[in-house]
Amino acid sequence: MPRLWNKTIEAHRRDVRDAVVATTARLVASEGPLSVTMSRIAEDSGIGRATLYKYFPDVESILLAWHEREVAQHLQQLSEARTRIDDADERLETVLRTYAGIVHETRAHRNGELAALLHRDDQVRRAEAELRDMISDLIADAARHGSVRDDVPPDELATFCLSALAAAEHASSKAAVRRLVATTVSGIRVPR
């Protein structure tokens, strides 16, 4: 097959896959994960059911693909926040602020049914480990600069930060999220 033809087919497959994932995410957000059927996804995506089944065997696999994409985007957002800043202290605070913002913004996705389905996946555990390692490295770097305590191992401080910032899910406003980040950061600073 000509190279152009292959690229066109690949782009078409990617477009169909993206449309199915986006439609499913929208339906789940409005109706709940247990209410969504493959027939409804096909109908709302504008594709035939047979075509849908060529891409995904069931609703759960579509949701896992959606969640994998969301997690990858969030990790990319955190990585970009980390690389934008040279100062170790500022870099740590920026990444923690970005993480808390993500937690706050995605709280609508955390209904019990959906979270139970999506968070049992190995991909989630790998992403959590990557996040914890990223924060731990940033903390170790800030500790070498003398602004973050070094009497507690960086991985323990990273666990503290991530646990504390999980509360951003329940924050009433962006201002509340900023205060939560400030409080968390003050907890890992060198004691005066």
CATH class of 1-57: mainly alpha
Residue of 66, 169, 38, 62 whose CA lies nearest to 124: 66
Instruction: Please report, for the chain, the start and end positions of each structural domain, with discontinuous segments joined by +.
Output: 1-57, 59-192
Helix, strand or coil, per DSSP, at residue 30? helix
Q: What is the pLDDT of residue 112?
A: 62
Mean pLDDT of 168-189: 95
Q: Read off the pLDDT of residues 30-82 as tens digits, 9 standing for 90 and up.
A: 887 778 899 999 999 999 999 999 999 999 899 888 888 888 999 999 999 99
Among 56-60, 139-143, 178-182, the range scoring the smallest mean pLDDT is 56-60
Residue 44 dihedral angles phi and psi, to the nearest 5°: -70, -25
CA distances from 170 to 31, 68, 141 (A): 22, 23, 30
Torsion angle, alpha carbons of 34, 38, 44, 47, to 10: 170
Q: What is the pLDDT of residue 119?
A: 66
pLDDT classification of 150: cutoffs 50, 70, 90: very high
Asked if domains 1-57 and 59-192 share a fold, the reply is no
CATH superfamily of the domain spanning 59-192: Tetracycline Repressor, domain 2 (1.10.357.10)
